[in-house]
Amino acid sequence: GEDVEQSLFLSVREGDSSVINCTYTDSSSTYLYWYKQEPGAGLQLLTYIFSNMDMKQDQRLTVLLNKKDKHLSLRIADTQTGDSAIYFCAESRFTGKLIFGQGTTLQVKP
């Protein structure tokens, strides 16, 4: 089936690390993505990971993939107030179709 699940809300203090989690059901997923959406805006691609990788790091962002448990996480180091947004996890196969989670609202308190 096609299902991607995320927790709905996360609150952290500025300077702390944030970890946003996601689970998916389709073991044939090829790519997994993290997108960020700010109010009134479209989706900004933050990072993606191919399904044969288990980790990817890009500056303050670290993506961990546990393919056995179908679990994906996004860690944001040194979280800033500008990181406040909705974060979407998405998965795909070679179909041109992305399946999105419901989105996690990240609130960063000063």
Min dist CB 1 to other proteins, Å, is: 13
Please give the Cα distance from 49 to 51 (Å, whole number).
Answer: 6
Q: Do 61 and 9 contact (CB within 8 A), yes or no?
A: no
Q: Do 55 and 62 contact (CB within 8 A), yes or no?
A: yes
Which of 12, 43 has the CB closer to other proteins?
43
Task: Determine the residue type at 104.
Answer: T
Min dist CB 94 to other proteins, Å, is: 6
Which of 52, 94 has the CB closer to other proteins?
94
Min dist CB 64 to other proteins, Å, is: 18
Task: Determine the residue type at 47.
Answer: T
Summarize as ranges the residues that interact with other proteins (CB under 8 A): 30-31, 33, 35, 41-45, 48, 50, 88, 90, 92-103
Which of 71, 97 has the CB closer to other proteins?
97
Bridge partner list, 74: 20, 63
